[in-house]
Amino acid sequence: MFDAGTGMFRARQRLKRPHLDILLSHAHLDHIVGLSFVLGWRELNGLESIHVYGEAAKLASIRENVFSSHIFPIMPPIQWRELPAEYSPFTLHCGAKVRWWGQTHPGGSVGYRLDYGEHSLAYVTDTTARNTDPYLSQLKHVQLLIHECNFDDSQQKMAELTGHSCLSDVLDRVRDCSVRKLALVHTNPYGNIHEPIQLPEAIVGNGKVVVPYDLDELEF
């Protein structure tokens, strides 16, 4: 699982294995509030272990602040896993190989690429998409790229200011990386919820770019 936001309560119905790995991009509240929801998942869903990966400072901050007894009554049964060195591959419980890298965002965020056999996907959120970003080689030929697109193109300045991305910038970098499918997520919650990003007709038509809803399943 990537991040643990407000939609995390829906994830319980999708659990299929006794072990859950959660890879955190960073510790802003919209990415971690769902960690508190896992309390009870072991008893109710037969989960035997939950590992949460992230940068050391972010994990420490979550433990101290979110799971302070003033905010949440008890610590859920989470085992915290600090990320190894940037770009160093590590292996998840399921056998998938993971790489991560740092991104531009207030307080910092990280992106991930997972490879499992011939399958690959990458998760890039909370960053300003730039074609000069050093990690772009990690996205080359990835089958599914899950990328944030918080703003449409009318809000480019706001994107820069808040460390987020606009549609054109995301599409530019995706073109260069030869991605097979692009899922645009982390759209502006204050925008039009039915059409959060004004995708041009030509792009909608080719089926390579989607704006998924919660619980959607994607083929790629």
Site for Zn ion, rule CB under 5 A: 28, 30, 126
- Report the nearest approach of Zn ion to the CB of residue 176 (Å): 24
Q: How far apart are CA 206 and CA 188, in angstroms?
A: 24
Among residues 190 and 206, whose Cβ is nearest to Zn ion? 190
Report the SS3 class of residue 203: helix
- Report the nearest approach of Zn ion to the CB of residue 42 (Å): 27
When CB distances to Zn ion are compared, the closest residue is 28
- Report the nearest approach of Zn ion to the CB of residue 201 (Å): 28
From residue 70, alpha-carbon distances to 39, 57, 63, 65, 201 in Å are 17, 20, 12, 9, 49
- Report the nearest approach of Zn ion to the CB of residue 78 (Å): 20
Q: How far apart are CA 59 and CA 94, in angstroms?
A: 22
Among residues 30 and 115, whose Cβ is nearest to Zn ion? 30
Residues forming beta bridges with residue 183, ordered by sequence position: 146, 210
- Report the nearest approach of Zn ion to the CB of residue 105 (Å): 6
CB 147 within 8 A of CB 125: yes
Among residues 35 and 47, whose Cβ is nearest to Zn ion? 35
Among residues 47 and 124, whose Cβ is nearest to Zn ion? 124
CB 5 within 8 A of CB 31: yes
Q: What is the arrangement of strands in the sheet containing 19-23, beginning at the earlier edge strand?
A: 19-23, 49-54, 79-82
Among residues 30 and 160, whose Cβ is nearest to Zn ion? 30
- The first and second tokens of residue 19, run together, are 């072990």
